[in-house]
Amino acid sequence: MSVILDEAKNVVYDRQVSYGTPEDNFTQIAELWSAYLGTSIRPEDVGAMMILLKLARERHQHKRDNLVDVAGYAECVARLFERKVEQ
């Protein structure tokens, strides 16, 4: 059985092929959520809210996928902050 962090890393980088980089995807989601809500949402907020969604699901019923995704979203948020520092 793989370690959750290893599994999450694979998911994050494998999904880039289907959805683009987390940086681009979360930016696009933030723009859509901002327009819908009428308030500014940052790409980092997208990752944080997706973590909260997964925690709510985990609270209802344990599923390994929830924990893998929490770790994956944390990786994505870290990448977003690293990208800001590099700019």
75 neighbors 12 (Cβ within 8 angstroms): yes
Quick check: 1 pLDDT over 80?
Answer: no
Count of residues making up the chain: 87
Task: Tell me the C-alpha distance between 52 and 14, whole Å.
Answer: 22
Closest CA to 16 of 76, 64, 71, 70: 76
Inform me whether the pLDDT recorded for 2 exceeds 80: no
Q: What is the pTM of this model?
A: 0.88
User: Are residues 73 and 81 in contact, defined by beta-carbon separation less than 8 angstroms?
Assistant: no
Q: 9-68: per-residue pLDDT in tens?
A: 888 888 888 888 989 999 999 999 999 999 999 999 999 999 999 999 999 999 999 999
Which pLDDT value is given to residue 47? 97
Q: How far is Cα 23 from Cα 12, in angstroms, rounded to an integer?
A: 11
